[in-house]
Chain A
Amino acid sequence: MIVQLEKICKSFGDMEVIKDISFTIDKEEIICVLGPSGCGKSTMLNIISGLTPPNRGCVDRNTDKIGYVFQEARLLPWKTLYENIKFVKDDTPPEELHKLISDIGLEGFENCFPNELSGGMKQRCSIARAFNYNSELLLMDEPFKSLDYTLRIKMISQLIGIWEKSSNSILFVTHEIDEALLLGNRIIILSNRPARIIRTFEIKISQRERKLSSKALTEIRNEIIDILVESNEQAPLFQP
């Protein structure tokens, strides 16, 4: 076990954001967290990373090597792509860094500054930075949100490639069902705010062998859609 969450609750003022969330993240697994926009997914990641303390419950961490890919790339504008990746760990040998850059498909852009890169390239750079950190747990907050569908599928395949070579765990937050189906060993479905776990799916098929059109994944997708629609019908249309 890398991280264990035990009955986590979080409120901002009178607004309850997370309610009684408990689950564990095991070694070398990818957990995808699916939930409607604004349900408290990012707050949960901030609690796991230690950036935000919970109001109740406890987070048991067996590692302090936690990487975080935020929704925005958060690159230093005055550093090149290579320097940004190196920023979190200075002692990585240059050949390893170049290998990482090539794995993420950014070869030839090492000396470019963030303002010379596209949104997708910046996000890939922040993923490479997180992998350079050698984190045991990687938190990813809708990292492919700004990308189009085909690029997103390509990025997922690249991410699986890097994850297979490393031995880290990934907690991947998204509201795209297909991303969760392609990546997750487990998929956790959260309700509308305050976020609670409604259901957890386990997918035993290896990530490399998954096809979105396969019967198994289609069945899970339909079930997830039903759960999300039902949860959404119970929630008011406009939440404060």
Chain B
Amino acid sequence: MRASTLKNNPRNNKSYVIISIGILIILWKVISLWVGKPIIIPSPEETIVALIRIVKDPESIVAVYNTLKRIVIGFSITSISSILLGVMAGFYEPLYYGLKPIVTIFKAIPTMAVILLAIIWLESEFAPILVGLLVAFPLLYENVVQGIVNIDSDLIEMAKVYKVGKWKMIREIYLPSIKSYLLAGVSTALGLMVKIVIAAEVLSQPRISIGTSFQIEKANLNTAGVFAWSIIAILMAATFDVIVKFIKRTS
């Protein structure tokens, strides 16, 4: 008899996801009917109407674009800096211990404190980028360091005996070894970036953005609008996840 694992029968697993979404929507509808106040819990239909209104508004596209731009810029800077520093720290112990207090501070500092400081230091357009960068950096950096530390020393020894060149060793042993750690880190960091950048936008209020739109809907007491923007943010994070999974599969 074959043991049941997450890898078995992907078609069945997908149907479970669809059933789960269906149950969630039904629960949502039941709770909204029970509460009976759309200002607290809007119904799924009201949320869909709000979502259609948002999608039809050209300014919403600009808001999504601006937020996306901040996420991509912040994520690019985080990726480059964490890969560079992570690789160097993985090979050079003094740098690893030198960076340890900084990484610990980045990990422990409350996100809200980072957002407030970023708003004080930077313009509202750039503050969310800094916040996303600081929050995602330790996550990616530590994954890269782990990837380097866990490289199989037997493989390195084998390559040395066969006098394999340095570049070939980096390309064919080091990079594939850290790839799985890096992609796992990228997946988590991107999801976190979406949340943090939008949270920072809510507070810093750049001109047009998803975070600002959240704030406007809240000010207008339009809870259905807040729910609709949440759906957009969830779809955004899901799209990033699909892209990372695709890269994982193809590389």
Contact = CB atoms under 8 A, between A and B. Distances in A.
B158 interface: yes
Given A51-B157, A68-B158, A70-B154, A76 B173 contact: yes
Interface in A44-81: 49-51, 64, 66-68, 70, 72, 74, 76, 78-79
B163 interface: yes
A235 B157 CA distance: 32
B172 A49 contact: no
A43 to B, nearest CB: 14
Contact of A68 (B155, B161, B164, B172): B161
B158 to A, nearest CB: 4
Interface of chain A: mostly helix, strand, loop or mixed: loop
Nearest to A88: B162
Contact of A67 (B157, B160, B162): B162
Interface in B28-48: none
A72 B154 contact: yes
A88 B164 contact: yes
A87 interface: yes
A240 B173 CA distance: 36
Interface range, B side = 10 to 19
B2 to A, nearest CB: 18
Contacts of B173: 76
B22 interface: no
A133 interface: yes
B94 interface: no
Contacts of A68: 158, 161-162
Given A70-B154, A72-B154, A78 B176 contact: yes
Interface of chain B: mostly helix, strand, loop or mixed: helix
A52 to B, nearest CB: 10
B154 A133 contact: no
A133 B162 contact: yes
Interface string B166-190: 0000001100100000000000000
B90 to A, nearest CB: 19
Contacts of A76: 155, 172-173, 176
A133 B162 CA distance: 8
A51 B161 contact: yes
A70 B160 CA distance: 13
Contact of B172 (A51, A64, A70, A87): A87
Contacts of A79: 172
Contacts of A74: 154-155, 157-158
Interface string B144-164: 000000000011011011111
Contacts of B157: 51, 74
Nearest to A89: B162
A72 B153 CA distance: 13
A115 B158 CA distance: 18
Contacts of A133: 162
A219 B209 CA distance: 89
A133 B160 CA distance: 13
B113 to A, nearest CB: 42
Nearest to B176: A78
Contacts of B164: 87-88
Contact of B158 (A50, A70, A78): A70
B176 A51 contact: no
Contacts of A49: 161
Given A76-B172, A78-B176, A87-B172, A66 B161 contact: yes
A192 B154 CA distance: 26
Nearest to B154: A74
Contacts of A67: 161-162
Nearest to A49: B161
A68 B162 CA distance: 8
A87 to B, nearest CB: 7
A51 B160 contact: yes
A2 to B, nearest CB: 16
Contacts of A87: 162, 164, 172
6 contacts: A51-B160, A67-B161, A68-B161, A68-B162, A72-B154, A79-B172
Given A67-B161, A68-B158, A68-B162, 12 more contacts: A49-B161, A51-B161, A64-B163, A70-B154, A72-B154, A74-B155, A76-B155, A76-B173, A78-B176, A87-B164, A88-B162, A133-B162
**Top 4 A-B pairs, shortest CB-CB distance:** A88-B162, A74-B158, A68-B161, A78-B176
Interface of A: 49-51, 64, 66-68, 70, 72, 74, 76, 78-79, 87-88, 133
